[in-house]
Amino acid sequence: MDELRKIERKKKRFAVRLKNSKKIICTDIPGLNIVLCNVGQATGFKKNDLLLMLEKITPTPIVLKFIAEKGDSHCFIVFSRIEEAKIFYDTYDGTLSGNSDVPLYMCFVESVPNNEIICSSSNPEGLTLIEGFITEDEEKQLYQLFDWIDESNLKNRQVKHYGYEFRYGSNDVDLNQPLDEKIPQECEIIWKRLEDYGINFSIPDQLTVNKYSPGQGIPSHVDKHSPFGDTILSLSLNSSVVMDWKHHSKAYVPVVVPSRSLLVMQAEARYDWQHGIQPRTWDPIIEVRKIDNGLVKVITSETKARGTRISLTFRKTRQGPCNCCYETLCDSRVTADLDEVASHLEDLHVHQVYEQIAGHFSSTRHKPWPKVVEFLQDIPPGSIVLDLGAGNGKNILNRNDLLQVACEYSAGLLSECRSVTRACCVRADVLHAPLCDCRADAVLCVAVIHHFSTYARRRQAIASIARLLRPGGRALVTVWAKDQSKSNYLCKDKVNTESDTYKTAGIHLPVHQNRTQFKHNDVLVPWKLRKVKENKLENESSQTLLRYYHVFEEHELEELCRNQGVVVEKSFYEEGNWCVICQKI
């Protein structure tokens, strides 16, 4: 009797937590939906465990859904009939589950999470997936050939190149710098076997080998059009993976790529879609179902563990501009007009905004960021420190033994900086800082690069930092993260739809709602301007201005630093920011 009362108390406490966290109501009225309160993915409970429980009931109840969300120690079951749900409840509520000595307890619930994502069952046009392309013996031979360990490689995966080095960030190769290592002869079986499938493929001269440990991935990208031919091959070894395909029309298709399969990318899949792999130790199980007389893919809450995976990506290099008919992602269609639009956008929604909010902005920034103090504390006396995008100078340290130079484009913020620091203050754009090359011992670039509106301009900012550093000099670079889930500034109860858009500089951008999770990478963030009078901030908001931000995905800042003459020493997430410490080589 004491055990029953104890379970009832646990149920009541769980019901309160479930209502607060997921707005799901527990009920005493039997229904189709049941929540198992103390078992789920976090406790190792899987669908197979549920099936074993169902087999012991005659006749076996029919389950429509099993929902076990990542990180949760509870899970949900949806039965086809209320009578079956009640039999299951009466059979197992309060009983021992599996090998555990803890009683299982459950509740009926009015609803369950709808966390299944429905998308088209059709793969991108031009994407061919050939399963079982190589035999198990051939897979073992190729895996042994390309398996290696290199601790100095990329943080999010290990990479090796043959023929030419694939340059991440620009997604191309330098044809003037061929590598000594050519594509191994063991790979010839691949393009020879393709003839049996009626696919013509010129013998490739570039191979990129990616080795992914569980938890590693690659950002969404498209291989640059002009340096490579119209067909790209990718062979998977040792483990399956879910590859995400995204179109600029916002279409999304997850593709399960099994081990020993070959992906052939042509036409739209080659030129007009981006593909990537999310960094996680598991992949969702994707089912093909028939809904409304049509087949669709459904991303379920069930998962499958990843193993170590090696992918072999083969390309044929080419020269000259691309003449494809897919303009959106084509580098040959990108002209100086794009940089002009980007410059105009930044002038409207970065430079002009900061001139207007300089006083208000400065009144909200007082202390140096702790990570800046930590970064600079070991810098020896006599060092030259550049703060690129110094704002009001809050990160300038009170150290007379350093030569600190504050570079800021906003005249208003530079005036604020001059009034509170002893630093040498210079009005300068990060992209074109008029300072001597290779002189700085340390560079700060805090919350600046996310204001540049194209990849090329963000890349140029990193190149500018590398130019100013002396060999061995170090830089701390921070940007806003798209993922704000671990930030103290996020309001957990506030949902951001980013449904409002604003047309500016000839383009439409979503307007972000402050203190919410970001949904897009390129957004306009409101600043509610308040007047500052006699060093006091007035309460009344007089105007709302929109600042442009490109918020960064995980590993995106690291990739931006590749092949820029710096090596990333450390990468970390801090209060809604992605940060890197890099050293000039």
Pairing type for strands 536-550 and 522-533 reads antiparallel
- What pLDDT score was predicted for residue 355? 93
Q: Where do we find the tokens 């997936």?
A: 129
Residue in 480, 354, 457 with CA at minimum distance from that of residue 414: 354
204 pLDDT higher than 60:
yes
Instruction: Indicate whether 122 and 100 sit together in one domain.
Output: no
Instruction: Indicate whether 191 and 46 sit together in one domain.
Output: no
Find all residues with CB under 8 Å of 383, minimum gap 6, and list them. Answer: 402, 403, 441, 442
SS3 442: strand
| Dihedral pair phi/psi, residue 22, rounded to 5° | -130, 5
**Tokens linked to 574:** 């801090």
Q: What is the mean pLDDT of residues 302-316?
A: 91
Number of H helices, E strands in the chain: 12, 29
Half-sphere exposure of residue 446, counting CA atoms within 13 Å on the CB side? 22
Instruction: Indicate whether 324 and 349 sit together in one domain.
Output: no
DSSP collapsed to 3 states, 323-383: CCCCCCCCHHHCCHHHHHHHHHHHHHHHHHHHHHHHHHHHHCCCCCCHHHHHHHCCCCCCC
540 pLDDT higher than 60:
no
Lowest mean pLDDT among 68-72, 78-82, 225-229, 275-279: 68-72
Q: What is the mean pLDDT of residues 156-164?
A: 88
465 pLDDT higher than 70:
yes
- What pLDDT score was predicted for residue 297? 77
Confidence of residue 171 (pLDDT cuts 50, 70, 90): confident
Is residue 494 included in any domain, yes or no? no
Q: What is the mean pLDDT of residues 514-527?
A: 87
- What pLDDT score was predicted for residue 533? 58
d(CA 533, CA 262): 66
Is residue 538 included in any domain, yes or no? no
Is residue 466 included in any domain, yes or no? yes
462 and 554 Cβ atoms separated by less than 8 Å: no
Which tops the pLDDT comparison, 521 or 295? Answer: 521
494 pLDDT higher than 60:
no
Instruction: Indicate whether 364 and 242 sit together in one domain.
Output: no
Instruction: Indicate whether 216 and 157 sit together in one domain.
Output: yes
d(CA 403, CA 425): 11
CATH code of 363's domain: 3.40.50.150
Q: Model confidence over 435-460: pLDDT tens digits? A: 999 999 999 999 999 999 998 899 99
Cα dihedral 390, 358, 497, 17 sign = positive
Instruction: Indicate whether 57 and 126 sit together in one domain.
Output: no
Neighbours of 148 (CB within 10 A): 11
Domain boundary among 73, 108, 143: 108
Amino acid, res. 462? I
- What pLDDT score was predicted for residue 538? 54
Q: What is the pTM of this model?
A: 0.51
Instruction: Indicate whether 289 and 432 sit together in one domain.
Output: no
- What pLDDT score was predicted for residue 251? 84
Is residue 503 included in any domain, yes or no? no
CATH code of 170's domain: 2.60.120.1520
Lowest mean pLDDT among 219-228, 318-327, 523-532: 523-532
Number of folded domains in the chain? Answer: 3
Is residue 517 included in any domain, yes or no? no
CATH code of 72's domain: 3.30.70.330
54 and 10 Cβ atoms separated by less than 8 Å: no
Domain boundary among 86, 108, 130: 108
Instruction: Indicate whether 123 and 4 sit together in one domain.
Output: no
499 pLDDT higher than 90:
no
Which tops the pLDDT comparison, 487 or 113? Answer: 113
Instruction: Indicate whether 128 and 227 sit together in one domain.
Output: yes
Is residue 541 included in any domain, yes or no? no
Q: What is the mean pLDDT of residues 227-248?
A: 94
Is residue 496 included in any domain, yes or no? no
User: What range does the domain containing 71 cover?
Assistant: 1-108
pLDDT averaged over the chain?
87
331 pLDDT higher than 90:
no
Is residue 547 included in any domain, yes or no? no
Instruction: Indicate whether 140 and 202 sit together in one domain.
Output: yes
Q: Model confidence over 334-372: pLDDT tens digits? A: 544 577 788 899 999 999 999 999 989 888 888 888 999
- What pLDDT score was predicted for residue 336? 45
Domain boundary among 65, 80, 108: 108
Cα dihedral 391, 397, 400, 402 sign = negative
Instruction: Indicate whether 140 and 87 sit together in one domain.
Output: no
